[in-house]
């Protein structure tokens, strides 16, 4: 975006003479559907003028204020049930700047998706807008600095709209002939391969994987600078979009049921460390949510529990700060979903000691009763919590337009079914657990009679326990997720004393750090 201070601002455009009358009319009939979206109210005019100016001045702080606060406020006040003015109407105030218009339209469509119901044409136009925007960015033709929050929202919304389109397309029963014709004609719109390729291209063009690699040995400072590039005078847009596309790929893969590939895409980002992703709260929660879900489906319960605990603690501590945020409702929703996932994981793998006290008490309050029922193998509860907490799975392929059925639930039903069959395979394990906890050694015959099964069945159940609680990590090593460890010698089950040895090392490290922090605070106190 070229900087040219002479051509912005200045007076009303003559073509908007009828403004006052129109305003009155709208006040009387708020719901008026054919409200003129060509009309640009003063506040909107100054909004775009200032936003445009700040973008050219690379004033990230002011851009963020306008993006996060002003845009929401104006939407709330003036465009609660109607779209913002069309881009053609505001273009004259921003020098018809091509990139700014694309950014404005991105906001425009996002507002339509959030507050209204997008028409098929709008869905298609929004796809075109993303394509134009990404293509310009991929060709390196921007030198803006945009707030990371905005760039994350772009990737997030891009995938949301893709998912929404797949859901919309899958409901064929209610489509008009005209809509069907459009869907058929523009098969490339929101096509899954296109979506994945854009994310992949952003990652590759930005060279972000190499940058993150270099960051580790200190030869770049992408993470330290939080992705911005103020000194170099460069742009953060491509790099940070590439970075967030890594999370984007994880999400799309999970929506497709491809958890393994999703986690593989995420490898460049270490979710146990701070990073650019953890400075944007929505991104952090999304990343960890899909990470947890994928690990649950891969049966890596301990990993899922640890990550879940970590993010729930963060949400718990920072919830107050986000109350004013436009994403507060979404944060709350994800919070509840994560508690449901944690309840599922702990029911399949009761490693309660991995969960911090704050999280644990919330968990008991929210899911305590359901967890008891899951321990008793109540499949309906697994079903209910899974359905509540799972992502909105999609069927990526275009439908058979000659067979007008709704298939929008197919992908979800498949994932649910496979999850429940996993639960069924583990149904004897929780009672084995509860018996083993009571003994240090017990003959197989005795345990079998307690559990009311024959000996061969019990031997199988014990082997199943071992198989299900041991997973392979990426290097092919066997990792134990078992809460109760045992081995069988001949005909006797020997239970390993599970007394937890206090980890003094970690305890001291924690307190040394706390002490250091306190000393720092004391030193800064002015008496």
Partner 1 sequence: MQRDRVAATPEREVTPQYTMEQIVAVNPYNPDILPDLEAYVQEQVNSQTYSLDANLCLLRLYQFEPSRMNIQIVARILVKALMALPAPDFNLCMFLIPEKLQMEDPFLTLITLAHFLETARFREFWDEAARNRHILEVVPGFEQAIQGFALHVLSLSYQRLPRPVLAEAINMEGLSLDKFLEHQIASNGWSVEKVSGGGQLVVLPPNEHNYPELKKSIVDSIPLEHVSKLFPILT
**Binding residues vs partner 1 (CB under 8 A):** 192-193, 196-197, 200, 204, 207, 209-210, 256-261, 264, 297-299, 396-397, 410, 413-415, 417-418, 421-422, 425, 459-464, 466-468, 470-472, 478, 480, 485, 487-491, 496, 501, 503, 505-506, 509, 512-513, 516
**Cβ distance to partner 1 smaller for residue 62 or 422:** 422
- Smallest distance from partner 1 to CB 260, Å: 5
- Smallest gap from Cβ 243 to partner 1, in A, equals 14
Q: Are strands 492-495 and 486-489 parallel, antiparallel or unpaired?
A: antiparallel
In angstroms, the CA 361 to CA 236 distance is 41
Closest CB to partner 1 among residues 25, 512: 512
Query: What is the helix (H) or strand (E) element at residue 194, kind and residue range?
Result: helix 192-206
Closest CA to 443 of 497, 495, 491: 491
Residues contacting 245, CB < 8 A, separation 6+ = 155, 198, 199, 200, 202, 203, 206, 208
Between 59 and 464, CB nearer to partner 1: 464
94 vs 106: CA distance, rounded Å: 16
- Other residues' Cβ atoms within 10 Å of the Cβ of residue 267: 12
User: Which residue number, 125 or 422, has a Cβ lying nearer to partner 1?
Assistant: 422
Measured between alpha carbons, how far is residue 18 from residues 22, 24, 278, 440 in Å? Answer: 6, 11, 48, 87
Closest contact distance (angstroms) between CB of 423 and partner 1 is 12
- Residue closer to partner 1 by CB (options 7, 406) is 406
Q: Comparing C-alpha atoms, which of 374, 317, 315 is closest to residue 345?
A: 374
- Minimum CB distance to partner 1, residue 462 (Å): 6
Using the minimum distance from each CB to partner 1, give the nearer residue, 112 or 254.
254
Q: Minimum distance from CB of 197 to partner 1 (Å)?
A: 6
Q: How far is the CB of 123 from partner 1 (least distance, A)?
A: 20
Least CB distance to partner 1 at residue 272 (A): 8
Nearer to partner 1, 34 or 489 (CB): 489
Question: Which among 61, 60, 63, 39 is positioned nearest to 50, based on CA atoms?
Answer: 63
Pick the closest to residue 337 from 367, 357, 364, 360 (CA basis). Answer: 367
């Amino acid at each position: 975006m070229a900087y040219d201070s002479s051509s912005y601002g200045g007076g009303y455009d003559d073509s908007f003479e009828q403004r006052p009358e129109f305003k009155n009319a709208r006040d009387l009939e708020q719901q008026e559907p054919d409200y003129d979206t060509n009309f640009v109210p003063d506040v909107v005019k100054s909004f775009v003028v200032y936003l445009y100016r700040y973008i050219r001045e690379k004033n990230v702080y002011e851009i963020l204020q306008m993006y996060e606060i002003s845009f929401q406020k104006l939407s709330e006040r003036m465009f609660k049930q109607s779209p913002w003015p069309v881009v053609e109407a505001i273009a004259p105030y921003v020098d018809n700047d091509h990139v700014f218009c694309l950014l404005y339209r991105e906001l425009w469509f996002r507002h339509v998706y959030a507050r209204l119901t997008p028409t098929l044409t709008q869905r298609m136009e929004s796809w075109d807008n993303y394509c134009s925007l990404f293509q310009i960015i991929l060709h390196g033709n921007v030198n803006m600095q945009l707030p990371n929050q905005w760039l994350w929202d772009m990737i997030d919304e891009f995938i949301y709209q893709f998912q929404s389109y797949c859901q919309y397309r899958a409901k064929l029963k209610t489509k008009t002939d005209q809509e069907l014709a459009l869907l058929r004609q523009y098969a490339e719109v929101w096509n899954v391969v296109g979506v994945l390729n854009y994310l992949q291209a952003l990652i590759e063009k930005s060279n972000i994987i190499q940058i993150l690699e270099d960051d580790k040995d200190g030869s770049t400072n992408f993470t330290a600078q939080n992705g911005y590039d103020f000194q170099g005078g460069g742009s953060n847009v491509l790099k940070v979009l590439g970075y967030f596309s890594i999370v984007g790929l994880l999400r799309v893969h999970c929506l497709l049921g491809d958890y393994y590939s999703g986690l593989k895409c995420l490898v460049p980002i270490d979710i146990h460390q701070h990073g650019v992703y953890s400075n944007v709260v929505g991104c952090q929660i999304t990343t960890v949510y899909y990470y947890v879900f994928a690990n649950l489906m891969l049966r890596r319960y301990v990993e899922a529990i640890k990550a879940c605990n970590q993010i729930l603690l963060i949400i718990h501590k920072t919830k107050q700060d986000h109350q004013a945020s436009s994403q507060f409702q979404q944060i709350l929703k994800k919070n509840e979903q994560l508690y449901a996932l944690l309840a599922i994981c702990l029911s399949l793998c009761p490693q309660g000691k991995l969960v911090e006290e704050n999280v644990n008490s919330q968990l008991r309050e929210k899911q305590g009763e359901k967890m008891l029922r899951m321990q008793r193998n109540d499949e309906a509860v697994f079903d209910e919590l899974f359905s509540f907490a799972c992502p909105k799975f999609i069927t990526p392929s275009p439908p058979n337009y000659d067979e007008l059925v709704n298939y929008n639930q197919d992908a979800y039903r498949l994932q649910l079914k496979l999850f429940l069959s996993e639960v069924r395979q583990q149904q004897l394990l929780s009672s084995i657990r509860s018996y083993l906890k009571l003994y240090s050694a017990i003959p197989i015959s005795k345990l079998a009679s307690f559990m009311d099964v024959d000996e061969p069945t019990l031997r199988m159940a014990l082997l199943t326990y071992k198989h299900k609680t041991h997973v392979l990590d990426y290097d092919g090593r066997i990792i134990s997720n078992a809460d109760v460890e045992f081995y069988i010698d001949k005909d006797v089950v020997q239970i390993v004393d599970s007394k937890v040895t206090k980890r003094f090392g970690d305890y001291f490290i924690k307190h040394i750090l706390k002490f250091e922090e306190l000393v720092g605070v004391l030193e800064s106190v002015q008496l």
